[in-house]
Chain A
């Protein structure tokens, strides 16, 4: 709009009286304002919301001269299913929809590209800059991953993440019980000197899947070559990727992990299990919607009602933990339906005999879904090329292998594709580095045990660690971009640069290798992670750790791990997309069913199951809703989502303060009623950061708070 005025200043008189519609400007929504007095009803927001985002939150209401863009009964956006992806703001030609944060900012004078670090999709973003400062971010139209779309995180959270008030800007070391700001040399010398006093096995290093491949590779080498420790892993526990790999590995099955976004929309049937794709990976969800629009059948398997459930052909709301028997039953139906297919694969006989024991009545009882619906789902699956996408929901209790084996068999029978979806930005990259580096390392859980047992005396953290309160060591180094509970207790704190201030590469969930480049100068004295590690290694006299640029490390990474060999820093400049290399052949073999006894988690004292909603709503140790008010409105980490029936039983209403108590600890929060959560469950966003647990499902009881 500003530009229009600049270009056409000669319009000074309008022949007809203007009619001011006098709509109230809506300022109650997070992130953007809606002033429909400026709206010309071009319908672009309505179309993008309906046709591309599949959300249909805004639509034309009324008609003729009363026509206006609005929501049902004029409710605020957050009550009508809006995810605040900002697509409508980007297409609005008049300024009726405006991003609140930049309303009074100057126009951008420069533009740069970066990769969004806030989930494993790695959307390409255009960063608007003014005098070297980030104004806002938009989804890049050329982005191969996101095709001009973004979600609320990439669109509205980047700027505040980079300029957070919790940023660490100076190296600090603890002297006389106080953290003091010091120079880099002083801090590095201090840490090197202290670390040298421990043996390799006394040192633990916790990586972060949110830092670049280069950074993580160097940490790996640092552990191996400098401090000579095997205690190196990342903190977020098991990811679908790893779980799937390990389950398959045990049976000598080699699954493929690479996929292309388009493969999803080419399928005839899509089965989503254990994830809320529209929230956790909104960009992949768009691809699913694209498929649904052209007639693909969509099956969702989850205890909860996922967002966008109305796009499903059938939504199987299973009882938590009964996914495996559901998959097995579907396999059984498919076997019945497809006897003509003469193909016999390894393990099929076992599989068939095992399945024979499974009766419909049993499955109906354990899953809570009626037989007709089950058979309908099986029929849908038999209709064509299928694609199975699963997420954290399938690996959140102790029966991970059982779930994944069942899914694998089902997919194999159906000649379908399985896609495990990790959450963390660079989880695929880190996974490949760990898988292919050939070094034996201890898993995270074991490291935690050893810390608690006192075998590990010095800890070097690159990201957040769950259950941080209980991790006590003699010497603690925290390398992070944000202050957190661990940095308060640390003996040394290194200010790490964020993605916007450094170069590097992320491997996204598809296996696509994406480089990002420095957009702004590092804030304060912050330095890239690789620089800090390399400088530290130099204190041990390791000359081969001396790098000038991150691309030098990449060159080394390519040499060390052949999977990365196809990467090129120019990949984004119009080159072909670069993928992690892997062998194409999947071994076709059924896995044993691996029945695992179901242990009842809940009890009389702890009648509810607390589960997480798996969204990556944090960057390193910054919880987005702590910094960004809009996030608190749409996904408050303090919410405990409860089925209204349960809430009624407990006499709790929306907004009531409660305390959720588990055998291992307790957390406070606010009740939020929603139909999407099944009875007997409580859902919360981020609790694992606060609470340690080996199983993400916890039995809990709910007490009214004060």
Chain B
């Protein structure tokens, strides 16, 4: 019995896998445990009820490998998560852990390590996709008595959690990567900056560090070599901007997480003015792999310019939410339909948002886009840290843009005027539009302002903050126009543009909605048609949720239809 790291298929959790056969049980409950032990382990019987059913074929699947969610993935970094107890360093060692480190320390020079990483073509997984090997080399070539490396685990993008999963599930792979990096760069101290919202990650990585230190993988003369290095955990304090490298350093130094101008780059003057190399969790986790299996092996995975695999957190309105690790160059369609199992409730796919608040939305007609750093940037979005939020027809793109801008506005550090004031203005315009008070010139204004913010901001947060607006404008301008011109929200999301209405022809008078209305806006008697008082309605949607699907009498209207219904209601009232 072992508690392992995250298997990635979160939708179906808690997951239990019986090794060595790889029998895959999903949504296991407390009551099931006894049965699993007696039936499956003792009697070698499969419990049907706990098996995963392929929603497409309706077939039950026994083995983990055969689950379509896993089939299409290439889990080279993430795969071991399912075998390792993150609190036990022996599990990691048993799976060739720290082998790469031993190889590096005794058989390779620092330059060779850097050459290997450069040859592998590994690009930083933090978002911008800078070549990791090159970054190391720059930092190595700066002469200084003290150098630092930082592992960026301030996974701020809402909806992305692969770094968390790696730190929680396989912390030693990150640690090993960092030690190798420190050896190559010549650093003596390292920091792992973890979000405070991830208590388990903080705990597991701290424990892993302790164990690694005790076994001599960290500290003075690592594994008996001449190399010494240690790592500290720094718990973040809740600021999205501290994911930006210069502000992360300010935060570690104990100051306000203000980004600063570059150059000087962190590789020249970073933490406390010393050369510093910052890489993301996933990047570090790639390092042991590359050195174990060789740059050649690694560079065969992926596309010409983007090598290796990438972990995405596939969330939103999709059937199989979870973490997926796929080779670069896979198409969106494969991820969403084959791994993700399609859209929830059979609805229509509308767009996928990648790259968090800095990224953008990719529309349905670009589903066949192959994914790597460059194609995503070309499409107006970005790789970001790997969040992939799927949206269906019920998602209003203007509302999504407004959401992201509200986020960046809130998280802007306030240093640069374009970002501080500009995002606020963008939010105000977008809010106006979602409230039905949009003006003709607003689209132009949004575009102008977005460009100004992009051009005039110091750090990545400001420079990419308008991306959600720009991409939604690019692909979904019609929705903006609908909001502005027809005062309608096609996705029926924007509260001020919709009404809830009970269709008198369908209502069976079951009182369900009436009881559930938090403001008592619904009136009616049993077996009689219920009516929503539009003046009282706060549009919380409770009635729509509770109305039995068979009846589905509660409907939402927007635009002209809404006006018509409202007029009807008014005229009826006037008659009374």
- Name the A residues within 8 Å of B258 (CB-CB): 60
Asked if B306 CB lies within 8 Å of chain A CBs, one says: no
CB <8 Å contact, B445 and A63? no
Chain A residues positioned under 8 Å from B424 (CB to CB): 19, 65
Q: How far is the CB of B427 from chain A (nearest CB, A)?
A: 9
* Alpha-carbon distance A43/B256, docked complex (angstroms): 13
Residue of A nearest to B427 (CB): A65
Q: Would A63 and B413 be within 8 Å (CB), given that A15-B445, A16-B449, A17-B428 are in contact?
A: yes
**In the assembly, what is the distance between CA of A67 and CA of B423, in Å?**
14
Does A63 contact B425, Cβ atoms closer than 8 Å? no
State the CA gap A60–B241 with chains docked (Å): 16
Chain B hits for A66, CB < 8 A: 414
Segment from B159-167, B404-412, B550-558 that makes contact with A: B404-412
> CB distance B420 to A67 under 8 Å?
yes
- Once bound together, how far apart are the Cα atoms of A62 and B423, in whole Å? 17
Q: Which residues of B contact A43 (CB under 8 A)?
A: 415
Mark interface residues in B398-439 (1 if CB within 8 Å of A CB, else 0): 000000000001111111010011011100100000000000
Q: Which residues of B contact A19 (CB under 8 A)?
A: 421, 424
- Interface contact A60-B414, CB-CB below 8 Å: yes
Does A102 touch B at the CB level, under 8 Å? no
Question: Which residue of chain A is the closest to B417 with respect to CB atoms?
Answer: A40
- Decide: A16 and B414 in contact? CB cutoff 8 A: no
Bound Cα distance A17, B441 (Å): 14
A182 to chain B, nearest CB (A): 64
Q: A228–B412 Cα gap in the complex (Å)?
A: 77
Residues of A within 8 A of B449 (CB): 16
Chain A residue at smallest Cβ distance from B257? A63
Question: Per-residue CB proximity of B83-102 to A under 8 Å, as 1/0?
Answer: 00000000000000000000
Out of B411, B420, B425, B445, name the residue touching A41 (CB < 8 Å).
B420
A16-B425, A41-B420 known; A64 vs B445 contact (CB < 8 Å): no
- Distance (whole angstroms) from the CB of B173 to the closest CB of chain A: 34
- Which residues of B from 482 to 540 have beta carbons under 8 Å from A? none
Per-residue contact bits, chain A 48-63, to B (CB 8 Å; 1 contact, 0 not): 0000000000001011
User: Which A residue sits closest to B449, measured CB to CB?
Assistant: A16
Interface residues of B in 363-419 (CB under 8 A from A): 409-415, 417
Most central of B239, B256, B411 by chain A CB within 10 Å: B256
B314-344: which have CB < 8 Å to A?
none
Q: Known contacts A16-B425, A16-B445; decide if A63 and B417 are in contact (CB<8 Å).
A: no
Which of B239, B256, B409 is close to A65, meaning CB atoms less than 8 Å apart? Answer: B409
A17 and B412 alpha carbons, distance in the complex (Å): 20
Listed residue (A15, A43, A63, A66) with the most chain B CB atoms within 10 angstroms of its CB? A63
| Contact between chains at A65 and B420 (CB < 8 Å) | yes
Given contacts A15-B445, A16-B449, A17-B428, contact A64 B413 (CB under 8 A): yes
A63:B428 contact, CB within 8 angstroms: no
Query: DSSP class of A's interface residues: helix, strand, loop or mixed?
Result: loop
What chain B residues lie within 8 Å of A40 (beta carbons)? Answer: 417
Residues 9 to 38 of chain A near chain B (Cβ within 8 Å)? 15-17, 19
Question: Of residues 443 to 478 in B, which have CB atoms within 8 Å of A's CB atoms?
Answer: 445, 449
Complex Cα gap A17–B256 (Å): 30
Interface size on A, residues (CB 8 A): 14
Main SS class of interface, B: helix
Q: Give chain A residues whose Cβ lies under 8 Å from the Cβ of B414.
A: 41, 60, 62-67
Nearest residue, chain B, Cβ from A16: B425
Number of interface residues of B (CB under 8 A): 20
* B402 CB to nearest A CB, Å: 15
**B412→A60 contact, CB < 8 A:** no
Distance in angstroms between the alpha carbons of A66 and B421 in the assembled complex: 10
**In the assembly, what is the distance between CA of A67 and CA of B413, in Å?**
8
CB distance from A96 to the nearest CB of B (A): 14
Kindly identify, within residues 282 to 328 of chain B, every residue whose CB is under 8 Å from any CB belonging to chain A: none
Q: Could you say which residues of chain B place their CB within 8 Å of the CB of A60?
A: 256, 258, 414
The answer to whether B409 touches A63, judged by C-beta atoms less than 8 angstroms apart, is no
Q: How far is the CA of A365 from the CA of B559 in the complex (A)?
A: 87
How far is it, in angstroms, between the C-alpha of A41 and the C-alpha of B413 when the chains are bound? 11
A65 / chain B contacts, CB cutoff of 8 Å: 409, 412, 414, 420-421, 423-424
| Closest partner residue, chain A, to B425 (CB atom) | A16
CA distance A57 to B22 in the complex (A): 63
Chain A nearest CB, measured from B254 CB (Å): 13
Nearest CB of A to B148, in Å:
20
Contact B256 A64 (CB under 8 A): no
A64 CB to nearest chain B CB (Å): 4
Q: Considering the chains assembled together, what is the distance between the CA atoms of A43 and B420 in angstroms?
A: 14
Minimum Cβ distance to chain A for residue B465 (Å) = 11
Q: Which residues of B contact A17 (CB under 8 A)?
A: 425, 428
* A contact residues around B423 at 8 Å (CB): 65
Closest residue of B by beta carbon distance from A60: B256
Q: Which residues of A contact B409 (CB under 8 A)?
A: 64-65
Docked CA distance A60–B258 (Å): 10
Q: CA–CA, A493 to B423, complex, Å?
A: 68
A64 contacts B428, C-beta separation under 8 Å:
no
Contact with A along B238-274 (1 / 0, CB 8 A): 0101000000000000001010000000000000000
**Chain B minimum-CB-distance residue to A59:** B256
Q: Which residues of A contact B411 (CB under 8 A)?
A: 63-64
Given contacts A15-B445, A16-B449, A41-B414, contact A64 B425 (CB under 8 A): no
Q: Which residue of chain A has the shortest Cβ distance to B241 in the bound complex?
A: A63
Inter-chain CA distance A300–B213, complex, in Å, is: 41
| Interchain CB contact under 8 A, A64 and B417 | no
Residue-by-residue, is A295-313 near B (CB-CB < 8 Å gives 1, otherwise 0)? 0000000000000000000
Question: For residue B256, which residues in chain A have a CB less than 8 angstroms away from its CB?
Answer: 60, 63
User: Quick one: which of B409, B410, B415 has the most chain A CB within 10 A?
Assistant: B415
B239 contacts which chain A residues (CB < 8 A)?
A: 63
Chain B residues positioned under 8 Å from A16 (CB to CB): 425, 445, 449
Provide the residues of chain B in CB contact with A41, threshold 8 Å: 414-415, 417, 420
- B110 shortest CB reach to chain A, Å: 31
B102 CB, min distance to chain A CBs, angstroms? 40
Q: How far is the CB of A20 from chain B (nearest CB, A)?
A: 13
Interface residues of A in 669-698 (CB under 8 A from B): none
Report the minimal beta-carbon distance from A327 to chain B, rounded to whole angstroms: 36
Measured in the bound complex, the distance between the Cα atoms of B324 and A455 in whole Å is 104
Residue of A nearest to B426 (CB): A16
Task: Please report which residues of chain A, range 332-367, place their CB below 8 angstroms from some CB of chain B when the two chains form the complex.
Answer: none
Say how far B349's CB is from chain A's closest CB, in angstroms: 34
Bitwise, A64-76 to B at CB < 8 A (1) or not (0) is 1111000000000
Distance between Cα atoms of A15 and B241 in the complex (Å): 29
Candidate in A41, A62, A64, A65 with the most chain B CB atoms within 10 angstroms: A64
Q: Max chain B CB contacts within 10 Å: which of A16, A60, A62?
A: A16
B146 to chain A, nearest CB (A): 15
Determine how close the nearest CB of chain B comes to the CB of A16; give it in whole angstroms: 5
- Complex CA distance for A40 and B414, rounded to whole angstroms: 10
Q: In the complex, A60 Cα to B414 Cα: how many Å? A: 9
Closest B residue, CB atoms, query A64: B412
CA separation between A63 and B256, bound complex, in Å? Answer: 9
CA gap between A65 and B407 in the complex, in Å: 12
| Shortest CB distance A389–B (Å) | 29
- Report the bound CA distance from A60 to B411 in whole Å: 15
Q: Which residue of A lies closest to B258 (CB)?
A: A60
How near does chain B come to A406, taking the closest CB pair, in angstroms? 39
> What separation, in Å, do the CA atoms of A60 and B413 have in the docked complex?
10
Q: Shortest Cβ distance from B548 into chain A, in angstroms?
A: 44
Inter-chain pairs besides A16-B445, A65-B420, 5 sampled, C-beta below 8 Å: A63-B239, A63-B414, A64-B409, A65-B423, A67-B413
18 residue pairs of the A-B complex, CB under 8 angstroms, read A15-B445, A16-B425, A16-B445, A17-B425, A17-B428, A41-B417, A43-B415, A60-B414, A63-B239, A63-B411, A64-B411, A64-B413, A64-B414, A64-B420, A65-B414, A65-B420, A65-B424, A67-B420
Chain B residues with CB under 8 Å of chain A are 239, 241, 256, 258, 409-415, 417, 420-421, 423-425, 428, 445, 449
A-B pairs, top 4 by smallest CB distance, nearest first, are A67-B414, A64-B412, A65-B424, A16-B425
